[in-house]
Amino acid sequence: MTRKIQLMETYVNIDFGNSPLLKFHKELQIPYSSIKGITTGRPIPNAFKLFGLLLGGMRNGLFRSNGGYQLHIFENEIETLHLDLNSFKVGKFKISKLIIGVENPEEISKNISERVN
């Protein structure tokens, strides 16, 4: 699945393409002010699936972990970008973390970090 991340002046635009799990939100515009932290790599494995798909290293959907809601969209858990969010609203849920599969997650993380700080 192809995802496109664009760094705009005041926000990160994430285009999910044709994700069947995000029919109403084909893209998210996350203000830099809503980003509390950025990491890459393997996600925390103890998330409870609320809605979506969990198969091997692939996760697509809404998960609950550490008292918050997380949105996971990736096929390869190693090539992931993790955005810790300040209760960013997606639909009716306040998302505390977005974990998304992307190419070159370290480079994207560095570019977003420069704009957040």
End-to-end CA distance of the chain: 30
Which token pair is 117? 């700080």
Contact by Cβ (8 Å): 12, 116: no
Any idea where the domains of the chain sit in the sequence? 4-116
- In angstroms, the CA 112 to CA 11 distance is 9
pLDDT at 41: 86
pLDDT of residue 22: 55
> For 31-79, what is each residue's pLDDT tens digit?
999 999 999 988 766 666 666 666 666 677 888 888 889 888 888 888 8
